[in-house]
Structure 1
Amino acid sequence: MKQFWTTMLRNPSGVIGLVILTLAVAVALFGPVLFPHSPWRMVQRPFVPPFTLSAVPLGTDALGRDVFAGIIFGARVSLLVGLVSTLVALIVGIPLGAVAGYFGGRVDDALMRLTEFFQTIPSFALAIVLVAILQPSIYSIIAAIAIVSWPPVARLVRGEVLSLRSREYVQAAIVTGQRTGWIIWREILPNALSPVIVLASLMVATAILLESSLSFLGLGDPNLISWGYMVGAGRTVIRQAWWITVFPGVAILLSVLGLNLIGEGLNDALNPRLAREGR
């Protein structure tokens, strides 16, 4: 663990990513304390430019709502969707990939054909269809993103398990009569999690982009404000009030950038060869 954090903190990308993610989480957790009122509330006249009134530092939108308050509350929605949908995708993808890689044969063929079926459909198109069928809500968005996100996890875990199941410690566990589930859980998966952790950080970033895209198209939860909704709401008046679109767009950019930088740092920290080289 000490070696991990030493390597992680030596990586400039990882440090920058951690700082950005920490700020985003702090905003999501403590921002609503600064803005106890609903972000849907009209607080000023419409189209107040940014940095002109201290009460609305980032200006107002077409209905007089505070853009800064919308960004604060939108952080909670975007991070929640990203983290929960990624967690659900891992819960589905890791067991399927582990079973396919360990047993091989017909079990592997069946599970990989199922995985390939989901991968043949464009992720964004499938997410749109699922949300439209289930009706737009925070739950349907999380479910849709999780459904389109688990196949890469399953394929990655399968490849790792295939390379680990022939190792000496696994064969020793089989010879001593340990149960299959115990072998997979205790002997194989702990050694296969490093690339999965890196992939998970990138999946959260992708999930935030997917949620923003769905909200931009009007398929977000109508009861929750999000960055994608704000970008979509401001696109028709972008020449008149550029800040309505730009500021939430920058929030999306920084969050996704931070998560990708963390993924790069994790890749170096969890790679034994790079860690020995002191990168």
Structure 2
Amino acid sequence: MSILRKLSTNKVALFGLIVLVFLVLVAIFGPYLYETSPWKMVNRPFLPPMENTDLMLGTDTMGRDVLAGLVYGARISLLVGLISTMIALLIGVPLGATAGYFGGWIDEALMRFTEIFQTVPSFALAIVIVAIFEPSVYSITIAIALVSWPPVARLVRGEFLALRNQEYVLAARLNGQTNRNIILREILPNTLSPIIVMASLMVATAILLESALSFLGLGDPEIMSWGYMIGAARTVIRQAWWLSFFPGVAIAITVLALNLVGEGLNEALNPKLSGKRES
């Protein structure tokens, strides 16, 4: 049974997947279908939602279309989440695999290095990194990646520790395969399930981190994102509630969809959970 077929039997996960696909389509095709620039002043500032049929969600502090900001911001918010997660995986997976496979002093050294990043709260560390390199979409993405990889490294290390003495790994060693081949071809494929599940949840966390940084005034002022919209509206929440409400709802829906898909993937890829559901 394929992963998609298993997900289709989980109505909650299927709902999350449909919502996520819709958001991805909006991010890809939305700017071409809704051509109003999110930076263009189209009406008076603080125009309430539904007051003008051409501006369904109203305007912001500069008279810009809020709906245009949501459509264009979807691409940046999702890209920040995806790219930061990919960078975190590129850092965490090799470190965790090396530590778990070789053990000994290599494991001790790499885990102590990992703990250095975990001694400081991830959000506080992200703030420091963004402040040092000046707020931009690049510094935000790098900051989120640097605070996200330690859990990945620990997860992969634990999986490698559990699998490195399995019979198929010992057989590969007896056949004279190199450590590199054993890691990449024998053990790593068997650890992909928990990594995929964690990655889906990491994207949601990254989107939340980006919005939190923007709310504190550390967002990229030159690129429209949901986090930037919330950050720009933080001083006028009482005067214009919709400026932070609509991007906040967009973030909440995206995070919820990613979490539902993550739970569905965990159930589909974990034989024990799948067996419990089928029984």
Normalised by the shorter chain, which TM-score bucket?
Answer: over 0.9
Question: Secondary structure of the equivalent of 2:233?
Answer: helix
The amino acid of 1:183's aligned partner reads I
**Percentage of matched positions with identical amino acids:** 64
* Cα distance, 1:137 vs structure 2: 1.2
Structure 1 Cα separation of the partners of residues 85 and 228 of structure 2 = 21
* Cα distance, 1:51 vs structure 2: 1.3
The amino acid of 1:197's aligned partner reads I
Which stretches in structure 1 are left out of the alignment for 5+ residues?
Answer: none
> Is the 1:202–1:260 Cα contact (8 Å) retained in structure 2?
yes
> Is the 1:215–1:226 Cα contact (8 Å) retained in structure 2?
no
Structure 1 Cα separation of the partners of residues 273 and 55 of structure 2 = 47
> Is the 2:221–2:228 Cα contact (8 Å) retained in structure 1?
no
What's the counterpart of residue 210 of structure 1? 209
Instruction: Give runs of aligned pairs for residues 47-66 of structure 1, distance below 5 A.
Output: 47-66=46-65
List, as ranges, runs of 4+ consecutive aligned residues in structure 1 with deviation greater than 6 Å.
none
TM-score by length of structure 1 reads: 0.97
What's the counterpart of residue 126 of structure 1? 125
The C-alpha deviation readout for 1:111-139, integer Å capped at 9, x for no partner, is: 00011110111001100110111111111
Which stretches in structure 2 are left out of the alignment for 5+ residues?
Answer: none
What's the counterpart of residue 186 of structure 1? 185
Structure 2 Cα separation of the partners of residues 186 and 102 of structure 1 = 13
What's the counterpart of residue 242 of structure 1? 241
The amino acid of 2:239's aligned partner reads Q
> Is the 2:211–2:231 Cα contact (8 Å) retained in structure 1?
no
Structure 2 Cα separation of the partners of residues 108 and 151 of structure 1 = 14
What's the counterpart of residue 109 of structure 1? 108
> Is the 1:31–1:72 Cα contact (8 Å) retained in structure 2?
yes
Structure 1 Cα separation of the partners of residues 12 and 123 of structure 2 = 28
The C-alpha deviation readout for 1:70-118, integer Å capped at 9, x for no partner, is: 1111111110000000001001100100000000000000000011110
> Is the 1:14–1:261 Cα contact (8 Å) retained in structure 2?
yes
Structure 2 Cα separation of the partners of residues 71 and 262 of structure 1 = 22
Q: How many residues align?
A: 278
Structure 2 Cα separation of the partners of residues 217 and 276 of structure 1 = 45
Which stretch of structure 1 is more off in the superposition, 96-105 or 131-140? 131-140
> Is the 2:49–2:56 Cα contact (8 Å) retained in structure 1?
yes
Structure 2 Cα separation of the partners of residues 278 and 244 of structure 1 = 42
Structure 2 Cα separation of the partners of residues 262 and 43 of structure 1 = 37
> Is the 1:227–1:248 Cα contact (8 Å) retained in structure 2?
yes
What's the counterpart of residue 157 of structure 1? 156
Question: Secondary structure of the equivalent of 1:46?
Answer: coil
Structure 2 Cα separation of the partners of residues 261 and 275 of structure 1 = 16
Q: Does 1:227 align with 2:223?
A: no
* Cα distance, 1:169 vs structure 2: 0.3
Question: Secondary structure of the equivalent of 1:65?
Answer: coil
What's the counterpart of residue 147 of structure 2? 148
* Cα distance, 1:16 vs structure 2: 1.3
What's the counterpart of residue 257 of structure 1? 256
What's the counterpart of residue 29 of structure 1? 28
* Cα distance, 1:238 vs structure 2: 2.0
* Cα distance, 1:277 vs structure 2: 4.1
